[in-house]
Amino acid sequence: MPELPEVETTRRGVSPYLLGQRIARIEVRQRGLRWPVPEALALLEGQVIDKVSRRAKYLLIETAMGSALVHLGMSGALRILSEPQPASKHDHVDLVLAGGQIMRYTDPRRFGAWLYVPPGEQHQLLGKLGPEPLTADFDGARLFTLSRNRQIPVKTFIMDNAVVVGVGNIYANEALFMAGIDPRRPAGNISSERYQKLALAIKEVLAKAIEQGGTTLKDFTAADGKPGYFAQELQVYGRKGQSCQQCGSELKEVRIGGRSTVYCGLCQR
């Protein structure tokens, strides 16, 4: 599933093609995505795109008449076409620009979304989200305060979008390894100093992943069709049974919240 770095990579990839351009039309070939694609998206036709922003894993294509809220789901991708091309089975939405270019949304599993947000309003999906991890609003003090008396595993805690957005499974594994924290530890049993280290690790891992264009494991490619290269930097995720790159011991795997969790029993405590 595309996580925050992959969505930010996509935003950066499509923005130069969209900003300042007029939307000629929005062609919806499949309305049965995660939620039905609303007819109200047609209100954006004829409007100039003022901004392409991201909130958590959602993209917002903003105009004076409102915004398109786009989520890539588990297998969704956006790409820019310089000229019309025949749509394939999984090409569900085209945002056609007045200049002829097309931003095409492809989603084999149809678990993504295209929704409409009226001008000046916030969609309910964005209403209860925590801070962005790469901003000053997120730090170790926030993690420490919110974790008191919480007995859930720390990995589950940092993946809670109400605590901080965008720390998906891959990057939670990597940040906990970088901070030397066992992912199974109860969130409430971690000190303020260690949460400071974890917050910095989350920032570093996500920033590096964005710089590398995200992580391609199966489905993800950027808007230009290129894969993300952060997979080459992974220290624990997907490396069960391999040697820890710090101490050489065998990496272990457990399931936390139904998700694969790989860690080093010596380096993480």
Does residue 54 have a known ligand-binding role? no
Q: Are strands 58-63 and 66-71 parallel, antiparallel or unpaired?
A: antiparallel
204 classed as catalytic: no
Does residue 92 have a known ligand-binding role? no
- C-alpha to C-alpha distance for 4 and 254, rounded to whole angstroms: 23
Choosing from 3, 6, 8, 62, the catalytic residue is 3
Choosing from 110, 142, 185, 259, the catalytic residue is 259
Number of residues that make up the chain? 269
Choosing from 5, 6, 8, 57, the catalytic residue is 57
In order of 73, 109, 112, 114, 217, the CA distances from 105 in angstroms are 11, 12, 10, 9, 20
57 classed as catalytic: yes
Choosing from 2, 5, 133, 153, the catalytic residue is 2
52, two tokens: 């392409």
Which residues, other chains included, contact 241 with Cβ-Cβ below 8 Å and sequence gap of 6+? Answer: 250, 251, 253
259 classed as catalytic: yes
Q: Which amino acid is at 11?
A: R
Does residue 109 have a known ligand-binding role? yes
Instruction: Say if residue 21 is exposed, middle or buried (CB neighbours under 10 Å; 0-12, 13-18, 19+).
Output: middle
247, two tokens: 């101490």
Tell me the helix, strand and coil percentages in the chain, rounded to 5: 30, 25, 50
2 classed as catalytic: yes
Tokens 């925050």 belong to 4
Q: Is-contact 234 172, C-beta < 8 A?
A: no
Dihedral of alpha carbons 25, 30, 35, 38, sign: positive
Provide the annotated active-site residues: 2-3, 57, 259
Residues within the annotated binding site for DNA? 90, 109, 150
Q: Residues within the annotated binding site?
A: 90, 109, 150
